[in-house]
């Protein structure tokens, strides 16, 4: 019995790490166009998967299925938390449109020192660098019922 518990615990740990690695791999490969990074993370995940497969063979399905389901739920959330912690702030261009509330929107952008350019009396383009600025702009847009378009600026000189 003690050996079975240790085998299940080992499988749980390995499977959790496997899920985290594979989720990170998917996120990294989707967000980057770097073949070198993709090759390395792919080699690590497939190499680690060998250990998981060996553990699966030593346990009945009545243990492996629930453990796999639980580790997938936990692992995906952990992976997204890791990606949020290491995520760099990017430059976002937020085009805001409002027929009637633009003066209030402009005043709030000034108040929070968010850089912007007023294109027309109804259109403002704000440039958002940090996540805290993103939250403020999002709140301003919602509070004023404005329409918007968001573009990530990925290329810089």
CA distance 93 to 116: 9
Q: Which two tokens stand for residue 132?
A: 């805290």
pTM of the model: 0.61
DSSP one-letter code for 109: H
DSSP one-letter code for 128: E
Question: Could you state, in order of their start, the residue ranges of all structural domains in the chain?
Answer: 2-86, 91-153
Residue 39, Cα to own-chain centre: how many angstroms? 21
Q: At 154, phi and psi to the nearest 5? A: -100, -20
CA distance 59 to 6: 11
pLDDT over 60 (residue 157): no
Query: How far, CA to CA in Å, does 148 sit from each of 7, 31, 75, 99?
Result: 53, 24, 34, 12
pLDDT per residue over 75-102, tens digit each?
999 998 888 787 766 788 999 999 988 9
Superfamily of domain 91-153: ACT domain (3.30.70.260)
* Arithmetic mean of pLDDT over the chain: 88
To which residue do tokens 């937020």 refer? 94
DSSP one-letter code for 43: H
Range 108-136 burial, b when 16+ CB lie within 10 A, else e: bbeeeebebeeeeeeebebebeeeebbeb
pLDDT over 70 (residue 69): yes
Give the pLDDT of residue 58.
82
Going by pLDDT thresholds of 50, 70 and 90, the confidence category of residue 29 is confident
Q: At 96, phi and psi to the nearest 5? A: -115, 135
pLDDT per residue over 109-156, tens digit each?
999 999 999 999 999 999 998 878 888 999 999 999 999 998 887 665
């Amino acid at each position: 019995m003690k050996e079975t518990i240790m085998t299940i615990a080992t499988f749980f740990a390995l499977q959790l790490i496997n899920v985290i690695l594979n989720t990170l791999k998917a996120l990294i490969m989707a967000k980057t166009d770097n073949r070198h990074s993709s090759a390395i993370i792919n080699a690590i995940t497939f190499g680690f998967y060998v250990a998981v497969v060996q553990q699966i063979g030593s346990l009945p399905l009545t243990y492996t299925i629930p453990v796999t389901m639980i580790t997938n739920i936990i692992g995906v959330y952990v992976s997204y938390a890791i990606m949020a912690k290491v995520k760099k702030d990017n430059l976002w261009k937020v085009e805001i449109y409002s027929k009637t509330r633009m003066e209030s929107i402009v005043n709030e952008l000034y108040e929070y020192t968010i850089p912007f350019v007023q294109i027309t009396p109804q259109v403002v383009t704000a440039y958002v660098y940090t996540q805290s600025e993103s939250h403020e702009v999002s709140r301003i847009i919602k509070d004023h019922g404005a329409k918007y378009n968001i573009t990530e600026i990925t290329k810089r000189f």
